[in-house]
Amino acid sequence: MGNSTNAIFKKVIGYFSVNVVVSAIAFSSVIIYSHLLSPQELGLYGEFYALVPVLTIIISANLSHSVLFFYKKENRNFKNYMMSMITFQFFSYFCVVVLIVFSYELEYIQRTEFRYYLFASFLALVFSARLLCEKLYVARGKVKSYAKLNVFYTVALTFLGLIFVYIYPNHWTRIQIEMALAVSLSIYLFIFFVRVLDFKINVNFYLVFNALKFSVPRIPFSLSIAIMPLIDRHMISLYYGYSELGTYVLATSYSSVMLVAISAITPAFLPSYYDLMEKKRYEKIDLINKKLSVLIAIGYLILSLFINDFAGLVSGNDYVLPVFLIPIILTSYLWHSLSSMYCRVFDYKKKTFYLSIVAFTSMVLNVLFNFLLIPKLGILGASIATLLAYFAMAIFSYYISRFVVDVHTSPILGLFSGYIFASFLVFLLLMESVYIRFGVLCAILGVAYVLRKRIFIASGKSN
């Protein structure tokens, strides 16, 4: 059992590592942006990109995630299925553009907003295709192929974009140039995609229909996650202006390294998770969840304890980040990883509407906390609201998967206690010197290494 469990864990870590490298490349652009752009310009830029994930979900209908499921169930028609998904995405994009043009003609949106939505919708199309391609590689275990594609995409879009930011400081000119880059990269993406799979275009609308039955109930879930940052960014700009929003965008950008890495774990483990659930190997699932949780907690500790020191060294002089801001955002992503772990069962049981219930409830709480906290605490209040919403999402996802869906769910007590301890430790040590923080971190890692065999014991129990 140990060898097969380690093999699955290594596969997940391989995909995880690729995303860490890619996010690190994008992370470097944040540092340069903080020197080239004022807080107000970065605030405008951040508000624009908060819209892109929302349009991405609308265009893709969240179909990319269904690849992981349909690869197991529709193996013979998998190539046709993939082309059907791509065709659907282009059709959705066309509908979105028609809607934008129609709204402009009826004067529902202004000229500047018209360009704004067109740019965002095209970027969303490119991101949708990239997500579809990414899930394909994960489903087929082609981590190296995915790595080449993703690194090329990220390097090109990041560093070419930075060059044009420096040459063309005008906000709309920069977006136009990045849109041109997105066009060229999407062409490369399509060529690479077809070359790797080597198939002819054959659209099967029956497969699209079945994928929609799986994916459409997930749309409110994904939209809720995407709308959360859209709401708090809008409220910050409304109450405090774009300069304060720029500081918040910078803080969330620093924190996104952890979010990208966490987001990589769930889809990477899903194919193996489906197999293990079918075979009722629950002890393996619990063991892998333990290992992944410990990995996430260690990454959280390292980032949270030293991110302020790093940000202070590399950020532009115009940006002043509150001490607790980035650690609070990182803590919210820590709890988001726990909810992602318990939400897997909804995909497995094809009860994806429960995902939407969990996320929508959390989004409502997030909006409520934003209205209560942002007027009083500013960007710190926005980060606390996000933390409370993700914490609630973790509790909701466990409760529904355990007691409503009534299927095997990894015990929450150990994971919950470990995350609480890690969070408490971070905020206890934040104001201490860097030497004390480093010493405590080394002590914790040493104890974890000594007790690793006791920690990673599969319970073999089904709750």
One DSSP character per residue, 90-155 reads HHHHHHHHHHHHHHHHTTSS-HHHHHHHHHHHHHHHHHHHHHHHHHHHHHTT-HHHHHHHHHHHHH
Does a structural domain hold residue 239?
yes
Residue 278 in tokens: 């079918």
Does a structural domain hold residue 71?
yes
pLDDT for the residue 343: 84
Does a structural domain hold residue 34?
yes
Tens-binned pLDDT, residue by residue, of the chain (463 aa): 455 666 666 666 666 666 666 666 656 666 666 666 777 777 776 766 667 667 777 766 667 666 666 555 555 556 666 666 767 777 777 777 777 777 766 666 666 667 677 777 777 777 777 777 777 766 666 666 666 666 666 666 666 666 665 665 555 555 555 555 566 556 655 655 555 555 455 556 666 677 777 777 777 777 777 777 778 888 898 888 888 888 888 888 888 777 777 766 666 677 778 778 888 888 888 888 888 888 888 888 888 888 888 888 877 677 778 888 889 999 998 898 888 888 888 877 878 788 888 888 888 999 999 999 999 999 999 999 999 999 999 999 898 988 888 778 888 888 888 889 888 888 888 888 888 888 888 888 887 777 666 666 544 444 4
Does a structural domain hold residue 352?
yes
Q: How far apart are CA 253 and CA 45, in angstroms?
A: 12
pLDDT for the residue 391: 92
Does a structural domain hold residue 133?
yes
Counted domains in the chain: 1
pLDDT for the residue 458: 46
pLDDT for the residue 459: 43
Does a structural domain hold residue 174?
yes
pLDDT for the residue 381: 92
Q: Which domain holds residue 101?
A: 2-455
Q: Are 426 and 331 in contact (CB under 8 A)?
A: yes
Q: How far apart are CA 59 and CA 64, in angstroms?
A: 11
Residue 255 in tokens: 């924190």
Determine phi and psi for 110, rounding to 5 degrees. -85, 175
Q: Please choose, from the candidates 341, 351, 344, 460, the residue with its C-alpha nearest in 3D space to the C-alpha of residue 404.
A: 351
Residue 427 in tokens: 């905020």
Does a structural domain hold residue 378?
yes
Does a structural domain hold residue 463?
no
- pTM over 0.85? The answer is no
